[in-house]
């Protein structure tokens, strides 16, 4: 089957209109990080010199955190205790702008997993949990919370069932959740632990890893070869399951939709920790479906998010900026979204970069014949930050500025040449005589101009002070200009 069409930055930017409701087993993941330099004299065990204690949301709560990180509106319906771990979990959720409803599960405390880590190697994991099943009142509370969440929904929505087999999701509860979703025509994405695929009948996507899929299909332990995947596809493609997305680590994801199988490859990378990668994948799939992507595109998003998570130590949250960066790394030149004429889309990309702590630099000009002076300016500008946006005068704007014989090249050609310069991240065009409106739209951190200007003369400089931006003047190469080149004058520099 032909490769599915790739996910684009435009697809990722659309995540902000999506909403995802996560229902499942929440927990708190605690990490004690340090270094081992000796063996205890008391017993043959390593002695950890602690450097850091930290806590992160785990299980269904981690899926919710990842969904929020991808830009979607997020609601978590889960169980945890009224204890210190529960209070810490709530602080994390509030900090990530995740709305939540806590469901009481008897006297069960907050599920907690403590990992002791030396370098990047886990030494021991300590679990504290009570997996008593949810009682009928608890199940009613889940369905009431789901109904309340759906009553205020706007735009695309998806539901995640994050089943860690910790007592929250009995078969009857899952069936009722899927029935509510079906009544509202909302896709359900499942991260499964049950070996009975029938438990999730009616879901749009079920995402087992390969080991879980083997158990579900009741296949003897086997490698993820074509024969085994064929048996899994035959046995698990049951009525009522829209698609299976079987994750196979470095081998990618096998998407099974009816009689069709599609392999989505995984980008090669150094794996730091697989903890929570499944939550990142389910988050990507759910947000993709909620924003209107096809199943194959949504799984691509999930696969990309899981790969990023695997490259980070511990349970990690993957953000929309992470996805955009990953796409720029993977994209071939013709697919790289460097040229963006829609200022609204550019402003959203810039805001994502700034939210991730990156410094955005802006430069502008006609760039009629790209020369060494231009490249020197662009290189210096890029060195001032992490992202360089270049604004180009349109053909009409250039004619008003330079006269009726200019530009020498149409704006599409000038933008294409700039897009090929390695220092430039995004190129856009402006029709006005100055870039002031563009600057006010994207709000860069630094505005760069050449030394033929004084800082107080730079258009947009006063505006930039409103958002904490600044102007930076860089030295220009002497004797280099498009006008001189156009008249055939030779450039001489010492």
Divide the 494 residues of the chain into consecutive groups of 10 and give the mean pLDDT of each group: 74 91 96 93 92 93 95 96 96 96 93 91 92 93 95 86 94 96 96 93 95 90 84 84 90 90 75 70 96 94 89 78 74 61 88 85 89 86 92 92 86 87 90 94 94 88 94 75 51 46
Q: What is the pLDDT of residue 199?
A: 95
Q: What is the pLDDT of residue 372?
A: 81
Q: What is the pLDDT of residue 493?
A: 47
Q: Which of 25, 279, 322, 419 is an active site residue?
A: 279
Q: In what order do the strands lie in the sheet with 19-24?
A: 99-103, 73-79, 19-24, 157-162, 188-191, 205-206, 243-247, 253-257, 260-264
Going from the N-terminus, what domains does the chain have, and what CATH number goes with each?
Answer: 9-36+45-334 (3.40.1190.20), 343-486 (3.40.50.620)
Q: Is 279 a catalytic residue?
A: yes
Q: What is the pLDDT of residue 494?
A: 42
Give CA–CA dist 419/481, Å, rounded: 20
Give CA–CA dist 367/371, Å, rounded: 8
Q: What is the pLDDT of residue 88?
A: 97
Question: What is the number of residues in the chain?
Answer: 494
How remote is the C-alpha of 32 from its chain's centroid? 26
- By three-state DSSP, how is residue 83 classified? coil
Q: What is the pLDDT of residue 485?
A: 46
């Amino acid at each position: 089957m032909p490769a599915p069409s790739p996910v684009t930055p435009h697809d990722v930017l659309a995540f902000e209109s999506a909403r995802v409701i996560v229902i499942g087993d929440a927990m708190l993941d605690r990490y004690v990080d340090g270094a081992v330099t000796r063996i205890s004299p008391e017993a043959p065990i390593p002695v950890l010199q602690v450097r850091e204690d930290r806590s992160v949301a785990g299980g269904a709560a981690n899926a919710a955190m990842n969904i929020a990180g991808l830009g979607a509106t997020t609601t978590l319906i889960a169980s945890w205790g009224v204890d210190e771990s529960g209070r810490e979990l709530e602080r994390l959720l509030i900090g990530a702008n995740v709305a939540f409803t806590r469901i009481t599960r008897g006297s069960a405390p907050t599920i907690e997993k403590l990992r002791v880590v030396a370098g990047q190697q886990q030494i021991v994991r300590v679990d504290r949990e009570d997996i008593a099943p949810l009682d009928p009142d608890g199940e009613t509370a889940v369905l009431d919370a789901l109904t309340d969440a759906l009553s205020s929904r706007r735009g695309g929505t998806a539901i995640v069932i994050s089943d860690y087999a910790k007592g929250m999701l009995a078969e009857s509860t899952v069936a009722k959740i899927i029935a509510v979703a079906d009544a509202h025509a909302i896709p359900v994405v499942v991260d499964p632990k049950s070996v009975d695929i029938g438990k999730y009948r009616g879901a749009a996507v079920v995402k087992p890893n390969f080991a879980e899929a083997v158990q579900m299909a009741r296949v003897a332990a086997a490698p993820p070869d074509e024969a085994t995947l064929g048996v899994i596809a035959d046995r698990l493609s049951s009525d009522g399951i829209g698609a299976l997305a079987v994750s196979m680590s470095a081998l990618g994801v096998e998407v099974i939709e009816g009689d069709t199988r599609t392999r989505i490859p995984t980008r090669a990378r150094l794996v730091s920790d697989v903890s929570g990668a499944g939550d990142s994948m389910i988050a990507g799939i759910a947000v993709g479906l909620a924003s209107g992507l096809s199943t194959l595109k949504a799984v691509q998003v999930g696969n990309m998010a899981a790969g990023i998570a695997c490259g980070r130590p511990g349970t990690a949250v993957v953000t929309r900026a992470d996805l955009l960066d990953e796409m720029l790394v993977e994209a071939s030149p013709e697919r790289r979204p460097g040229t963006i004429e829609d200022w609204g889309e550019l402003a959203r990309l810039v805001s994502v970069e700034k939210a991730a702590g990156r410094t955005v630099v802006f430069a502008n000009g006609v760039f009629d014949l790209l020369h060494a002076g231009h490249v020197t300016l662009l290189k210096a500008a890029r060195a001032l930050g992490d992202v360089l946006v270049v604004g180009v005068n349109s053909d009409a704007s250039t004619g008003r500025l330079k006269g009726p014989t200019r530009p020498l090249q149409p704006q599409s050609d000038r933008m294409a040449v700039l897009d090929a310069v390695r220092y430039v991240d995004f190129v856009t065009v402006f029709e006005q005589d100055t870039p002031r409106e563009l600057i006010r739209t994207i709000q860069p951190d630094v505005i760069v101009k050449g030394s033929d200007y004084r800082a107080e003369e730079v258009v947009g400089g006063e505006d930039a002070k409103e958002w904490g931006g600044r102007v930076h003047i860089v030295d220009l190469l002497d004797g280099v200009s498009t006008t001189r080149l156009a008249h055939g004058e030779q450039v001489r520099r010492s």
